[in-house]
Amino acid sequence: MRTSRLCARVYLVCKEHRNRGERQEMFEQKRLRQLLEHSTPMARVSSCLSVDWEDRYCVFVNRLGAAPQGQTSRPNSSAPGSGPLAGVGFVVKDSIDVLGFATTNGTAALNNNYPTSDHQLVARLRSMGGICVGKANLDEMSYGWASDNAYYGQVINPTFPEHSPGGSSGGCAAAVAGGAACFAVGEDTVGSVRIPAAFCGLSAYRALCAQPASHEVCPLTSSGYDQLGLIAPSIDDISKLESLIHDYEELPVLAPGELSIAVAANFSLSALAPEVEASMHDAIFKLAGAGATLVMHEVPDSFGSAACALTTIVNYEFLPAFNSYLESRAGEPATLERLLDHRHTLAARRIRSLALPTGRPVQAVYERARLTANQIEQDVVDYFQQTQCQVLIHPTVAINVATSDIHSHASTDPLALARHVSVATCARTIAMNFSMTSPKGLPVGIEMLCAPTIDSKQALAICRTIETIVKD
């Protein structure tokens, strides 16, 4: 019955958004820079609060949350009209703390997990007048790539409803693509912001935090591979956000001749879908034609092991990391094992089989995975020293979107989805991506893995320029 209702909803959404021109117009209207430069704060508030709250895409776990009983602090306390983001609506993945909302991590067992403060990034956005319009749907416990949640429904890709939105931050991408928010704050370990952005025709930024706030975000790992990320219509939007968040001057506009881009003949690490290959060739030709320096240089063999190594690390570290998180909350459930008691969702079964003691990788396997990840990190350093390039450009995912039944978790090999995005995670370097439109009209994600020597400000300026050239 549930599947029938979802299929019916998919059909209606498909019918409504069939026209590609309308979809593009929707994106253009939501560009953050345009919104900030061409509207008043009160107009932004009005726009933010007049969003169609029917939520046809199963975007939200909780919308415009209310403080729990006995808690006086209210969400969105910043006065409308104050700050550079005044009235701009954003969503936050429901694994990240936002005052006034429960941090459920996509499971009903944490419906009473109310934080006592905002995550520091959320607090910064709110201090500038931004309005958190809701907590975004996700794969339960962030353990998946399809954003099909047993409690909050299957997230639907607003741009291409017959295709997967990706995960685990699928609700974040769908909220931005569907017009419910101007941007989203997600979390990225195994491509959890980059894959949904690619599938929904958006841009994403995997930032690097010096010290991830482990108890303000539901963790997947304990060794620093979890990082926050932003999803927005373009890297230009993300660069504007970052300049406001970190209070630095607007990023410089680079000339194409200032770009040095590595392209690997052996990258992809798996066979590319024809549309992805065609889009990559188009991007390369545009960059070369604009005057950018392109260096063909094969990537190390170790890159092909990144996804397997990273998923092994996640499966080994998840249990102690999440138990530490639950201990910091001093509530119920007290342990991951207790949280999963009597729960028979797909995610619960997956976690039991992969991350609890009966199926968790043994220590020797985990240590080999860590050695592989460390080798990849060193290989990335060596690669950029050899090429003298600023970024390595490659497809975000070898396929454009998962084209089979969005309700089938066996439709796409998870490791195939994670193969490319896992390299940046293992290397602990900045990565961001933007979307092109393939010859068949589907989005294709183009990822830029940044040299370890480049800081976030430089990385954003470089990648924004690349996006502008390719999408011009």
Distances (CA, A) of 324 to 63, 216, 321, 362, 400: 28, 12, 5, 20, 37
351 near 319, Cβ under 8 Å? Answer: no
Choosing from 47, 78, 142, 168, which is the catalytic residue?
168
The DSSP bridge pattern shows strands 431-437 and 203-206 to be antiparallel
Residue 169, preceding peptide bond in cis (omega within 30° of 0) = no
Residue 186 amino acid letter? G
d(CA 390, CA 383): 11
Q: How many other C-beta atoms are found inside a 10 Å radius of the C-beta of residue 80?
A: 17
User: Which residue is listed with tokens 């209207």?
Assistant: 29
Per the rule left: phi > 0, alpha: psi between -120 and 50, beta: everything else, 55 is left
Q: What is the DSSP string of 239-302?
A: HHHHHHHTT-PPPPPPPGGG-EEEE-TT-SSSPPPHHHHHHHHHHHHHHHHHT-EEEE-PPPGG
Q: Is 168 a catalytic residue?
A: yes
Q: How many other C-beta atoms are found inside a 10 Å radius of the C-beta of residue 471?
A: 17
Q: Which two tokens stand for residue 32?
A: 């953050």
Which of 415, 165, 217 shows the shortest CA–CA distance to 328?
A: 217
Reported in sequence order, the residue ranges of 128-234 that DSSP labels E, i.e. its strands, are: 131-136, 148-149, 153-154, 183-188, 203-206, 227-232
Residue 233, preceding peptide bond in cis (omega within 30° of 0) = no
Q: Is 408 a catalytic residue?
A: no
- Residue 225 makes CB contacts below 8 A (sequence gap 6+) with 189, 310, 313, 314, 425, 426, 428
Q: Is 192 a catalytic residue?
A: yes
**CB-count exposure of residue 416 (10 Å: 0-12, 13-18, 19+):** middle
d(CA 14, CA 25): 16
Choosing from 192, 268, 305, 435, which is the catalytic residue?
192
- Residue 269 makes CB contacts below 8 A (sequence gap 6+) with 303, 304, 398, 419, 420
Tell me the catalytic residues.
93, 168, 192
